[in-house]
Structure 1
Amino acid sequence: MAVLDHHISGQTKNRIVNGLCYSVLASSLVLCLQQVYAEEPILETSELSDAEKNVQDVAQLEMVVVTATRREQSLQKVPVAVSVLSGKTLEQQQKNSLEAIVSDVPSVNFRAGASNKDTSLFVRGVGTITTSPGVEPSVSTVVDGVVFSRPGQATLDLLDIDRIEVLRGPQGTLFGKNASAGVVNIVTKNPTSYPSGYVDVYATSDKEQRIRLGVSGTLIPDTLKANVTALLGNFDGNVKNLYYNKDVNGYKNYGFRTKFEYTPSDTLVLGLTADYIHKDGTNPTAVVVKNSNAAYASALQPIVPHAENRQVIENTSASTDDTNQGLALTADWTLQNHQLSSITAFRQWKNTQIGDGDQLSAATPSFAGIADRGDVNTKQFSQELRIKPLENGFFNYVAGLYFSKNKNDETYQRQSQWYDSTASNYVTDFGRAVYNTDSTNYAVFGEGTVNFNDRLRLVAGLRVTRDELSYDHQRSSTIPVSVGVRNAIRSPYASSGSTSETGISGRIGPQFDFSPNINTYLTYSRGYKGPAYNVYFNMQQIDTPVLDPETADSYELGFKSQWLDNRLRLNIAGFYTDYQNYQANFRTLDPSGFPITRLVNAGDVSTKGIELDSVYKVSSDLSLSLSAANIIARIEDFKCPPTDSACPNVNGKPLPFSPDWKINAQVDKFIQLANNKRIELSTQYSWQSEVQYSLDQNANTIQPSYGIWNAGIALNDTGSDWRVALNVRNILDKSYATLLGTNGDRITRQVPRDDERYFGLSFRKDF
């Protein structure tokens, strides 16, 4: 947990993977993107040609429309590497969180934790490895145009989703300050003009239950329409706490999302969105999988650590109480040939986390008992104004202004009970830190496309960002100053600081159409992530210097194409990105030689690779899919903290949370029956190579390569609008870790939801 001071050869595996990819490219048969591409509805937009709008042959792929450039465009025309996931498909597969999309988008990875506070997303090997409130996420999460300020907010339960667009690489021009590695753009469903509704029920063999309800329609004819979706879910968990004899690593959650659309005139559309999600989680602090201390092994009994362990014996019931809520007011105003758009948003995120730092049932003479509690209260306000022309011309553009104000208030307290051998009794220490950060962001941005002719275009964009950041920190403690630190609690300390920076981000490059169905682009992008402070419970003097902004220089060559009468879609992107002043956590030593985890400017890192997104519609009833990524993310020039005399040489080593290879393949088959019924068959296999979870390259924090195989069968009545499905997750019963960490002499892991095989039965009825 972030609050703690904290049989096949590789050559053979490479031959297997390379052979698979080369054979796929050669045959052009099992090429595909996410299956969502075949199910994305066509949207009406003035930017699409009549020919594009009318591609409706059932044996062809339907067109995918995205807003990756803040304008509705065909996926094949956007000069950005984008993966698109359909909300319909996510619902059918019961993928209910951003963590679940990692298998579908090979360029994306996920940092798990005991709480939402400790989680974050990675794109192309780069993400945020800290929980300090003084740090921006490297991957920006945007929901209906609203940028979320903290990484933990991004791990929300997906509700009423139309589609998810994953924009890979720096996207700072149009999507804001914290997009140096990529953007996850979530678009929720708009209200329908006709009455509609649905109920979706899901239950699994390991006692997970979920129900979603939704209604939509017109409240005032031609003027006001609205929708609302509600969620209730429960999962006991897949880890057993032997101390309390109960299942943990589960959740109870509930929430809603509602959207109103008001059209007072032909030139003005107003929108109001409100959402609320509450989650009670029971994730254990960590599960011990390896231990080298005999005394700790005795205290941990009856648990015997091993790689697939799903048992804990924590006497402090680890839990998370998480609330994510917000309001957004939108306005789209047509002014002759232009549209002026406004997004005004307020969000609040509250997170209370309780953890057991020792993972034992009681303190012993050899090991202190440590219990933690952290409370987070994050408030953000943002205002964005944009203008764009409504019709295509020689020069198309989007320009705007952005402002955000974010305030983070946190309280963290730790209690330790330890055995004092001189007094022959147990002593209790206590520490409590109150800290906050304030950040203000101003930006002016714009991106334009110069259409030299029907085939050649030039894309150029620029964003100027002003960041203002300050913090206050004060810790009270029972630890004497002369002692400094005892059992992960430091002596009293107080500090504050402030800084400001101006950053430049942007993009430029040509785009050329070899034919109506073959498009290429070459872009240079500049990414920027603002200054940071390492603000946390055990903050000390060495943590007070401000971290320099993280910047990126990225080059991307893209190839987007459609073949075989629009039955085969093949998109390839190659890229190289160099990051300077990479901000990340590193396990090091403080001036007294005590091991700690510090947020540092880690130096220069790079990520390069090639990505494949494709889909082949063999017939109207059969689709084959493959997406793959070969990403080489490496540390180029690591800057050791000056206080660490034993800093390891990690140059040339992999970045954390970034496997070199990830592949996702899927087959979807429909069998038509009488009376508007059909059987739907699907199978999916996702594989990734080994991944290192620690920047310091600990040999014990490497997750070996693994693959997960899922399958499903459904009966769908398209006439009566109902569907019943049986899904099998992790058919091969493969156990793996979404995080491996160190805590003293032991290695711990986070247990994923699908760490073992289970079955799920779902039923959906649309009205």
Structure 2
Amino acid sequence: MAHIFAMLVAAQAAASRLPAPADQAAPAQDAQRDTGRLGAAQQGGGDIVVTARRRAETIQSVPIAMSVIGGQAIADTGAYNVNRITQLQPTLQFYSTNPRNSAANIRGLGAPFGLTNDGIEQGVGIYVDQVYYSRIASATFDFTDTERIEILRGPQGTLYGKNTTAGAINIYTRKPSFTPEARIELTTGNLRFVQAKASVSGPLVDDRLAIRLSSSITRRDGTIRNLRTGKDVNAQDNQSLRGQLFWHATGNLDLTLSGDYNHQNPDCCAQIFARVGTTQRPVSRQYDALAAALNYTPPSRDAFDRVTDLDTPLRARQELGGAALLAEWDLGPVSLTSVSAWRIWDWKPSNDRDFIGLPITSVSANPSQQEQVSQEVRLSSNGRNTVDYVAGLFYFHQTIDTQGLQVQGAAASRYLLNPTSANASNPVVLDGLTATNTIGFKNTSAAGFGKVTWHIADTLSFAPGLRVNYDKKTGSYVSVVTTGTGAGAVLNCSTTAQAASSVTRDRCSTLAPQIYTPAFDDWNVSGDATLAYDVAQDIHAYATYARSYKSGGINLSGLPLDGANNPILASATVKPETVNHYELGLKTQFLDRRVTLNLAGFWTEINDYQATVTNGQLGVLRGYLANAGKVRTRGFEFDSAFRPTSRFNLYVNGAYTDAKYVRFVDAPCPPELSGGTTATAGQTPSPAGTPGGVSPANCDISGQRLPGISKWAFSYGAEYDLPARIGGLDGQVYLGYDGSYRSTFSSNPSASAYTDIKGYALGNVRLGFRGEDRLNVFGWVRNVFAKDYYELLALQSGSTGLVVGQPGDPRTYGVTISRSF
């Protein structure tokens, strides 16, 4: 915790100053308290107050498909980061091989599946107290002192500063209080899991100035044993601190200054041997033959033995934090809100990108320093009028500096080069071959946005919105390759140099120097319209159409090469995505509001979808971006909660998502069709998995499903409590269960039999006691049935057929005690 003294100051975005209607305020508080207790039952709705439309409204009256998770539910279910809340939200997907290579998707859309490319936007907006987090990596912190999380599905660009084409995740922390209060939560479990959270709040100057401080520490041993080093990897080691100052400056002006600092330094992140599939490379160049030639045997061919022998140190060290100022000025009929923010993210990784215990790639790291500033100003009407509105301006600027390094090892020549070549038996050819990459990126975005709600009648409203957006991205990619011999001469990959030397040719086919300066800028106009109708007091229907754009981008992970190993500069930029979105929704409550059932059906089409493409060259470990022709996702969702008695709650949420490429005719081929001799005009490719066969130059995957998306996904659970008196303290004994299921999904941009992840169900159980003095003690078991499952699968580069995986957490158990004062 030594570095936490460097706490920064950042704004906590308070909800609109508009209070809930008097007749709804108390029920809203009761609903939040009750549903917060039950794992995720709060997703059903009730009278919970949210600020999704930048004004305080009950969740049932908002014509947006959305879910809410209360702060108590986060604690009860152990959903203390974005990854864990996916078990509570069927339409939210989160994938991560390390913090930088993370992606959050809603309804299967948001970010291309695969390695992260800094040159594009994310389609799911992450907001913490109204501050936009530009990279999903900077949102991989543990939730601390969280009041609630709102998950909005579908385009939200006419209400939010940064354009979000797939949805938004709004995280709200607790605000400073003028009533002194404190909270503490301590957890311990197997794998030496320790988590401690604490917060304190109270007045500094009467009813004018209040402060809130909160902190969190999470530590856990890894779930995979590295037999080479004797360490357990895929561990957790997170520390955070947040501070807020709230100043009631005048009767109608409030200022909130807050800051956060997070430090993470776990031994992470390992992907390990999962299986081997046959590709179209010659047999001698596929994984089993290569491993045998180098006398290598993996420690296990079963990933759920949870052992590996990676020979490169693993590190996922990051520091992130920021400062911001929120100003809220009540001008009577309107409110003016200003959010000024500054954030940083410093990433210092180390990866083993050959995924096995051979010195093929001895170093693979892309340290990155990111900085962003943003300014948002909004003007919104107060109260309910015939016409309500929100209008805003947004400015955002980001810089990224990355220092990439890839170094080939002593086994690289034999593993990567054709064994018929004399160079394959000469380790010196590739040993020490080094690519030093200097990457720069600047991203500027500005927008004007607004939404008007016209209450045509007491039960009917029409809400059109508009957004005008400008984006400019510039980058620089310089990769200098040096040899491992002599003084480390700079590699010359000119056609003449390659023709003169087979050594040069093999080095250039492994790591080729590149220099390019991509740029993109564009204006676009988008909008939406929602028609909402109150069928009855507790039955609300809506229909929405949205036309949205996701900004174009630039490739900053290296470009594919032509036959002479020169970068294909036409691939340096990708076009914007154009989104057409249609949605119908129904929000209902009945049986005296003991039952909540919300339904939504959606149809979304995207032209020029930004897809990840794998570079087929042997030594290139990263993908690049390209535009697929068109994708479509459609489906339906339901959120339901039922409270048959005051002591029993249950919930079931589900989603059916049919997402596919409508048109992608020049996609990368799956591994079973890759690695062979490229088919020439009129030549018929070999059947899938034919060693030494003929591979198509590219594949038409039109009609195939998008990666990472299950057709069916559910979350469900219940909690039952009984009155009890323990140790002289009155309260309730309770038993809770939270489960989730997702059907089979593809873990590769082009569907492959080798990378399908079979459907699985997970269950978590807890048994505890809640005292009336705000004491909560419970034991918990997560993954109670000890299900073996993969979070994702990936391919070793070079079409060797090796498939590596990231096993999900095994069964874990522990005890949590919390107390509020």
Report the equivalent of 2:553: 532
1:238-277 map, 5 Å: 238-277=223-262
Q: Which has the larger radius of gyration?
A: 2
1:305 is matched with 301
Equivalent residue number for residue 806 of structure 2: 750
Deviations 1:60-106 (A, max 9, x none): 98521111111111101111100111112102222211000001110
Sort the Cα spacing of 1:761 and 1:642 in 2 relative to 1 into closer, same or farther, 3 A: closer
1:281 offset after TM fit, Å?
A: 2.2
- 1:434 Cα deviation (Å)? 0.5
1:676 Cα deviation after fit: 2.4
Equivalent runs, 1:675-714 vs 2, <5 Å: 675-714=729-768
Aligned to 2:443: 439
Matches within 5 A, 1:518-597: 518-536=539-557, 541-542=567-568, 544-587=571-614, 589=616, 597=623
Identical residues among aligned pairs (%): 27
Query: Paired residue for 1:474?
Result: 478
RMSD value over aligned CA atoms? 2.3
Q: What is the alpha-carbon distance in structure 2 between the residues aligned to residue 234 and residue 598 of structure 1? A: 35
Which residue of 150, 154, 159 corresponds with 1:165? 150
Instruction: Give 1:353 deviation, angstroms.
Output: 1.1
Q: Per the alignment, do residues 651 and 475 of structure 1 end up closer, same or farther by CA in structure 2, a change over 3 Å counting?
A: same
What is aligned with 2:626?
600
The residue number in structure 1 matching 2:488 is: none
CA contact (8 A) 1:241 1:313 kept: yes
Partners of 2:426 and 2:170 lie apart in 1 by 58
1:335 corresponding residue in structure 2? 331
More strand by share: 1
Alpha carbons of 1:715 and 1:491: their partners in 2 closer, same or farther (altered >3 Å)?
same
In structure 1, the residue matched to 2:288 is 294
Residue 339 of structure 2 corresponds to residue 354 of structure 1: no
Q: Describe the shift of the 1:334–1:178 C-alpha distance in structure 2 as closer, same or farther (beyond 3 A).
A: closer
Helix, strand or coil at the partner of 1:282:
coil
- Flag the 1:594–1:714 CA change in 2: closer, same or farther, 3 A: closer
Q: Distance in 1 between matches of 2:667 and 2:651?
A: 46
Please give the alpha-carbon distance, in whole angstroms, between the structure 2 residues aligned to 1:594 and 1:320: 21
Alpha-carbon offset, residue 304 of structure 1: 2.4
Taking structure 2 as the reference length, the TM-score comes to: 0.84
Equivalent runs, 1:318-329 vs 2, <5 Å: 318-329=314-325
| Residue pairs, 1:414-429, within 5 angstroms | 414-418=406-410, 424-426=426-428, 427-429=431-433
Partner of 2:119: 134
1:64 is aligned to: 48
After the TM superposition, which residues 366-765 of structure 1 pair with which residues of structure 2 at under 5 Å, given as runs? 368-418=360-410, 424-426=426-428, 427-478=431-482, 479-481=491-493, 482=498, 483=504, 486=507, 489-536=510-557, 541-542=567-568, 544-587=571-614, 589=616, 597-640=623-666, 646-674=697-725, 675-719=729-773, 721-743=774-796, 744-752=800-808, 754=809, 756-765=810-819
C-alpha contact (below 8 Å) 1:350/1:377 kept by paired residues = yes
The 10-residue stretch of structure 1 (319-328 or 596-605) with the greater mean CA deviation from structure 2: 596-605
Q: Give the conservation status (yes or no) of the 8 Å contact 1:344–1:384.
A: yes
Give the AA of the match of 1:601.
N
> For the Cα contact (< 8 Å) 1:626–1:665, is it kept in 2?
yes
Q: Is the 1:181–1:527 contact (alpha carbons within 8 Å) kept by the matching residues of 2?
A: no
1:353-403 CA-partner distances (Å, limit 9, x unpaired): 10112233343xxxx343212111110000000011112110001001000
Within 2, Cα distance between the matches of 1:596 and 1:440?
Answer: 25
Q: Contact 1:177–1:465 (CA<8 Å) still a contact in 2?
A: no
Q: Is the 8 A contact 1:240 1:312 kept in 2?
A: yes
Given that 1:523 and 1:557 are in contact with CA atoms closer than 8 Å, whether structure 2 keeps it comes out as yes
**d(CA) in 2 for partners of 1:497, 1:507:** 32
Question: C-alpha displacement at 1:639, in angstroms?
Answer: 4.2
Q: CA deviation at 1:306?
A: 2.4
Distance 2:668 2:227 in 1: 43
d(CA) in 1 for partners of 2:185 and 2:122?
33
SS of 1:53's equivalent?
helix
CA distance in 2, matches of 1:566, 1:659: 32
Contact 1:484 1:490 in 2 (8 A): no
Q: Supply the AA of the counterpart residue of 2:755.
A: T
Distance 1:594 1:219 in 2: 57
- Report the counterpart of residue 15 of structure 1 in structure 2: none
Counterpart AA for 2:256: G
Residue of structure 1 in register with 2:102 after alignment: 119
Query: What secondary structure does 2:766 align onto?
Result: strand
Give the Cα separation in 2 of the matches to 1:718 and 1:300: 61
Per-residue CA shift, 1:636-658, capped at 9, x if unaligned? 01141699952222111111110
- The 1:715–1:596 alpha-carbon spacing in structure 2 relative to 1, beyond 3 Å, is closer
Contact persistence 2:68–2:148 (CA under 8 A): yes
**8 A Cα contact 2:225 2:306, kept in partner:** yes
Alpha-carbon separation, structure 1, partners of 2:641 and 2:506 = 57
CA distance, structure 2, for counterparts of residue 594 and residue 153 of structure 1: 26
Q: Where does structure 1 lack aligned partners over 5 or more consecutive residues?
A: 1-42
The structural deviation recorded for 1:54 is: 4.4
Letter of the 2:753 counterpart = A
1:433–1:537 Cα contact (<8 Å) kept? no
Matched AA of 1:649: D
Aligned with 1:442: secondary structure?
A: strand
Contact 1:413 1:537 in 2 (8 A): no
In structure 2, the partner of 1:81 is 65
Aligned equivalents of 2:16, 2:347: Cα separation in 1: 40
Q: Report if aligned partners of 2:605, 2:631 keep a CA contact under 8 Å in 1.
A: yes
1:300 to partner: Cα distance: 4.6
CA distance in 1, matches of 2:477, 2:79: 39
Amino acid in the other structure paired with 1:51: D
Partner amino acid for 1:250? A
Give the secondary-structure state (helix, strand or coil) at the position aligned to 2:268: coil
Supply the distance in 2 between the matched residues of 1:642 and 1:501 (Cα, whole angstroms). Answer: 28
Q: Which of 231, 238, 242 is the equivalent residue of 2:216? A: 231
Q: Name whichever of 710-719 and 299-308 sits farther off.
A: 299-308
DSSP-derived class of the 1:428 partner: coil
Deviates more, 1:412-421 or 1:492-501: 412-421
Q: 1: CA distance between counterparts of 2:636 and 2:667?
A: 33
Instruction: Return closer, same or farther for 1:657/1:98 CA change in 2, 3 Å cut-off.
Output: same
Per-residue deviation, 1:284: 3.4
Match of residue 53 from structure 1: 25
8 Å contact 2:613–2:668 — kept in the other structure?
no
Counterpart of 2:133?
A: 148
The CA distance in 2 between the partners of 1:604 and 1:584, in whole Å, is: 10
**1:36 maps to what in 2?**
none
Contact 2:347 2:368 in 1 (8 A): yes
SS in 1 for 2:225: strand
Q: Give the secondary structure class of the aligned counterpart of 1:90.
A: helix
**Counterpart secondary structure, 1:52:** helix
- Counterparts of 1:722 and 1:393 in 2: how far apart (Å)? 44
Aligned-partner SS, 1:121: strand
Look up the equivalent residue of 1:550 and give its one-letter code: E
Please give the per-residue CA displacement for 1:99-118, whole angstroms capped at 9, x wherever unaligned.
Answer: 000011100111121x2000
Q: Is the 8 A contact 1:288 1:309 kept in 2?
A: no
* 3-state secondary structure, aligned to 1:447: strand
